[in-house]
Amino acid sequence: MQATNIDEVIEILNTIVEECKANNNPLGYFAVLYRKVTIRVKEGILNNRFEDNARMEKLDVRFANRYFKAYFDDKNNTPISKSWKISFKAITKKHLVLQHLLTGINAHINLDLSIATVDTVENNPLDTIKSDFNHINSLLSELTDDVKQNMGSVSPIFKLLMPLAKQWDDKLIEFSIQTARDGAWLFANDLNSNPDKREILIKERDAKIETLGFKLLNPVRTLQWVLNMILFFEGGSVKDKIETLEGKLQTEPAWV
């Protein structure tokens, strides 16, 4: 299932969210966040917020289609990138809502966004799209921060115990949206400058992002008890948590 315009991107995301709610599938957490990002991008396009609004829609569609391909290929047992595989496999074990969100963002920004960006500019200079590239990252960063601030709605003791998980918190800092954005842009430049090495570079990058995803899901043993305690107090079903995230993301943030 692939989109040809931004409205179709939103429709497919709606389908994934509802499917995940029906199946109590934690992959719905990322889909809810990503749908909100896409809606904000659409609003920005309609209000001429980007340097090139037509190109931004093209980037948004290419970007989303990489996620859709991974999602539906995995459902059909078709091989997918290691970055997405580790994120999707996370549903087989108990993890925090935040961990599910971050592994999805990890695969999508650190691998997919760079590839989609290079494919979107085609033969034009890569720097011409940097501002709009940063806009997508800023929107995602803003909404992810909003989710973290409101995490108490699904994890009552999240704010109380997370400061104790210092080493895992360092891993979050390492992963921070700013770091991910900078790394994704550097990778986009590498891809753009070495088209003959595209597949090799993507394979190498995919392995690195898989490793970071693993670290986000598997903190050192001394910290696991903290995350387990937070997880214990995450109330409700997966469907309930998805709907809670939907509610928390209803408030419109200021345009960035």
Domain residue limits, the chain: 6-248
Q: What angle do CA 232, 242, 137 make, to 5 degrees?
A: 105
Q: What is the pLDDT along the chain (256 residues), one digit of tens a residue?
A: 899 999 999 999 999 999 999 999 999 999 998 998 899 899 999 999 888 999 999 999 999 999 999 999 999 999 999 999 999 999 988 887 888 888 998 899 899 999 999 999 988 999 999 988 888 877 776 766 666 555 555 555 455 555 555 555 555 545 555 666 678 899 999 999 999 999 999 999 999 999 888 888 886 554 554 555 555 556 678 898 888 888 766 654 444 3
* DSSP H or E run through 233: none
pLDDT of residue 254: 42
Q: Per this entry, what is the length of the chain? A: 256
Tell me the angle at which helices 130-149 and 238-248 cross, rounded to the nearest 10 degrees. 120
At 253 the pLDDT is 45
- Confidence at residue 256, expressed as pLDDT on a 0 to 100 scale: 38
SS3 assignment for 8-31: HHHHHHHHHHHHHHHHCCCHHHHH
Task: Please give the biggest Cα pair distance in the chain.
Answer: 51
Residue 26: predicted pLDDT = 93
Helical ranges in 47-125 per DSSP H: 53-75, 82-89, 97-107, 114-121
Query: What tokens appear for 89 in the block?
Result: 């496999």
